Amino acid sequence: MPVPNDTESTPSGDRLKEIRLTRGLTQERLAERAGLSPGVVKKLERGGIARLDTYHALARALGVRTSTLFEPSGPHSTTRGDDDNIDLMPLRQAIAPPVTFSGRLTVDTVVPEPDLNQLRSVAGDIGIAYNDDNYSHVATLLPSLVHAAHAAVDHYDDGPERAEARSLRSDVLQMAGRYLTQVRAYDLAHAALRDAIEDAAAVSDMGAVAAAVYQQGWLLMRQGRLDEAEQVSVTTADAVEPRISRATKQTLGAWGKLLIHGSAAAARNNRPQEAREILRLGRTAGAALGGGQAVAVSSWGRFDWRTVAFQGIENQLVAEKPDRVLRLSARMPTPKDKKGKLFMRRHLLDVAQAHAMLRRPDEASAILWSLMDQTPEWLRHQRMAEDTFHDVLGRSKGRRLTAKQRQLAAFFGAK
């Protein structure tokens, strides 16, 4: 079964064994409770790894948070290629430059007075490019924009221009963090988002703080840091909670999105009751918008009542209730915008995974193919999609693959 989110953390086999023994369980009994084979438990206790949904199942069987199974691990024993690091070198130099006694290492050049309006215009263009899945354009323009944002902040000593420059830099770094999380450059993304939050807080822009923390929550979940993801999302949501009668759409959207991530993290952390309670607050934000929608293209995207409903469905998938996922999904409108473009693509992956779990490979393949057809660059970075398709292949043994399944196999590099 595919995992509902990416994670780079590796739980410790010793930790799993320790908790199992304190519960008085044999490996066979734990496997039975978790709905796994005894071989899986044995493999994990010997130091093997599995997808995150396997750890969800074990945590439920042991009655602990999923994060309890995760411990800090040492350096990776296998060598990793540096190709991705080379490709990201310009962004790395912009976001994490060397530091000397006098601050960031910079090249001595004559820099003209910054044009903040022009920089915001470029930032807006990059946000649109990201939303359109034009990642190569984003990667090309972001490094120079980050450098320009740093230069703008350095240019102004104080006054409203410096505050505006820091606000701009926060937006730019947040976009960088969002892109870097998507391409799984997690440590660099964390540095960008940390600095984005610092800039936003310095100019008391709580909307920007909320947006950057939202991105940070996504990053933390991808790293398997579930406790922290829930905590930063919920505490920031508490800090920015608006007075509903006076709240703008943007304020409601930022607040609601934080709650969505808090609920998602709690659900993945084997805290279903907390996930429901957090989501209940999110429904308040969705209801306050009525039939309207809040949009922040360059940060947290879209938010309305459907966003809350889709998260509730996702939480059912995490709880391994695929039948309920499909029943609830059938009540929802087709997730397309006015131009016919798919959005809430993550929800469609949930539905595809539910079909795969219920041994419906053709239905799962149809959804994956539609996503590949319309948003291939986005799908390429979704590990959940690749895992779902591998499950489809497993369910299709002995059957001739359809034309669409063969296209998907080529797309995901499946053998």
Which CATH number is 26's domain given? 1.10.260.40
Q: Is the domain of 89 the same as that of 195?
A: yes
Q: Is the domain of 303 the same as that of 370?
A: no
- Confidence at residue 11, expressed as pLDDT on a 0 to 100 scale: 60
Q: Is the domain of 88 the same as that of 188?
A: yes
* CA dist list (Å): 227 to 65, 171, 282, 293: 9, 26, 19, 29
State the Rg of the chain over Cα: 22
Q: Is the domain of 358 the same as that of 410?
A: yes
Q: What is the DSSP letter of 400?
A: P
Which has the closest alpha carbon to 348: 330, 335, 359?
335
- Confidence at residue 242, expressed as pLDDT on a 0 to 100 scale: 92
- Confidence at residue 54, expressed as pLDDT on a 0 to 100 scale: 87
Residue 262 is assigned to a structural domain of this protein: yes
294, 302 in Cβ contact below 8 A?
Answer: yes
Q: Is the domain of 88 the same as that of 200?
A: yes
- Confidence at residue 375, expressed as pLDDT on a 0 to 100 scale: 87
Residue 325 is assigned to a structural domain of this protein: no
Q: Is the domain of 193 the same as that of 128?
A: yes
End-of-domain residue from the set 142, 176, 204: 204
Q: Is the domain of 159 the same as that of 179?
A: yes
193, 216 in Cβ contact below 8 A?
Answer: yes
d(CA 225, CA 135): 26
The pLDDT tens digits of the residues spanning 319-352 come to 999 999 999 999 987 766 555 565 678 899 999 9
Residue 79 is assigned to a structural domain of this protein: no
Residue 415 is assigned to a structural domain of this protein: yes
Alpha carbons within 13 A on the beta-carbon side of 415: 0
**Containing structural domain, residue 293:** 219-320
Which has the closest alpha carbon to 133: 186, 84, 179, 91?
179
Residue 214 is assigned to a structural domain of this protein: no
At residue 334, the 3 state secondary structure works out as: coil
Count of CB atoms situated within 10 Å of the CB of 313: 21
Domain count along the chain:
4
Beta strands in 267-395 (DSSP E): 294-296, 301-303
Residue 1 is assigned to a structural domain of this protein: yes
Q: Is the domain of 199 the same as that of 89?
A: yes
Q: What are phi and psi of 48, to 5 degrees?
A: -70, 175
205, 164 in Cβ contact below 8 A?
Answer: no
361, 369 in Cβ contact below 8 A?
Answer: no
d(CA 168, CA 142): 13
At residue 301, the 3 state secondary structure works out as: strand
d(CA 264, CA 262): 5
Q: Is the domain of 223 the same as that of 195?
A: no
Residue 92 is assigned to a structural domain of this protein: yes
133, 373 in Cβ contact below 8 A?
Answer: no
Per-position pLDDT tens, the chain of length 415: 344 444 445 566 888 888 888 777 888 989 999 889 888 899 888 888 887 788 888 988 888 888 888 754 433 333 334 444 567 888 898 998 888 877 776 655 445 688 999 999 999 899 888 888 888 888 889 999 999 999 999 988 888 999 999 999 999 999 999 999 988 899 999 999 999 999 999 999 999 999 999 999 999 998 889 999 999 999 999 999 999 988 999 999 999 999 999 999 999 999 999 999 999 999 999 999 988 999 887 788 889 999 999 999 999 999 999 999 999 999 987 766 555 565 678 899 999 999 999 999 999 999 999 999 888 988 988 889 999 999 888 877 778 888 889 899 989 886 5
Task: Report the DSSP pairing between strands 294-296 and 103-104.
Answer: unpaired
Q: Is the domain of 314 the same as that of 342?
A: no
Residue 209 is assigned to a structural domain of this protein: no
Q: Is the domain of 254 the same as that of 198?
A: no
End-of-domain residue from the set 147, 174, 204: 204
Q: Is the domain of 285 the same as that of 226?
A: yes
End-of-domain residue from the set 175, 204, 233: 204
